[in-house]
Amino acid sequence: KQEVTQIPAALSVPEGENLVLNCSFTDSAIYNLQWFRQDPGKGLTSLLLIQSSQREQTSGRLNASLDKSSGRSTLYIAASQPGDSATYLCAVPSGGYNKLIFGAGTRLAVHP
Amino acid sequence: GAVVSQHPSRVICKSGTSVKIECRSLDFQATTMFWYRQFPKQSLMLMATSNEGSKATYEQGVEKDKFLINHASLTLSTLTVTSAHPEDSSFYICSARTLAGVNEQFFGPGTRLTVL
């Protein structure tokens, strides 16, 4: 059974810091891994999707890496801003219909 | 980009009534849609997988008679919470998977259900 773990559970940093959020999964046989952002009371916004054949993906100040063999992914946020404050979720497809298995998320607060 | 909408965004109802939530893929076709619920400060829990033209597949512990799912077309799936009770109050989110080979899911904005 696939399990996804995210650390840290919460993070509070001053504006401008570079951040690393961690995601680990127990079954390395995945097609891809997605990182999402969720603002309070809102749905999910897809940030990055890394295919199993890729090692990393970049979008603006975000960079996500994937190491399938060790069952790990990291989301790197450069030069954090208060607008980055949100919960970040990683998820991998598993089982029939490739349903997504989510981690519990990392709640990020970036203060001015 | 791929957009998924949900309606309504917020609903308040009395205990015992039924509530229908719609999930639409606006600019793409989705053979598969997923329904999740999320309690405060918790992650998403998959409730069921909805496939166009066939019966939904429910996760263990989810009552199929209470949470009725209909996937009538490639762009619309509905979730009906029947005889709602206060414990059904939650944030319900749908997602849709594109037909393209990337196998990426796109999420709706969510529906906040409050049962009095």
User: How does pLDDT run across B53-85, given as a tens digit for each residue?
Assistant: 888 999 999 999 999 999 888 899 999 999 999
Contact B43 A89 (CB under 8 A): yes
Alpha-carbon gap: B16 to the closest alpha carbon of chain A (Å): 25
Dihedrals phi, psi of A98, to nearest 5 degrees: 55, 45
Point out the least confidently predicted range of A17-26, A59-68, A91-100.
A91-100
Q: Which of B49, B57, B107 sits opposite A44 (nearest CB)?
A: B107
User: How does pLDDT run across A40-76, given as a tens digit for each residue?
Assistant: 888 999 999 999 899 999 999 999 999 999 999 999 9
Residue A103 CB contacts under 8 Å (≥ 6 apart), including other chains: A4, A5, A6, A23, A89, A90, A91, B43
Q: What is the pLDDT of residue A26?
A: 95
Q: What is the pLDDT of residue B1?
A: 67
* Cα angle, residue A32 at apex, residues A26 and A34 outer, rounded to 5°: 90
Q: Which residue has the higher pLDDT, A29 or B93?
A: B93
Contact B49 A96 (CB under 8 A): yes
Q: Which residues of chain B have pLDDT under 50?
A: none
Q: What is the mean pLDDT of chain A?
A: 93
Interface of A with B (CB under 8 A): 31-32, 34, 36, 41-46, 49, 51, 89, 93, 96-100, 102-105
Alpha-carbon gap: A100 to the closest alpha carbon of chain B (Å): 8
Residue whose tokens read 């939904």:
B56
Which residues on chain B are in Cβ contact (under 8 Å) with A98? 97, 103
Q: Percent of chain A at pLDDT above 90?
A: 79
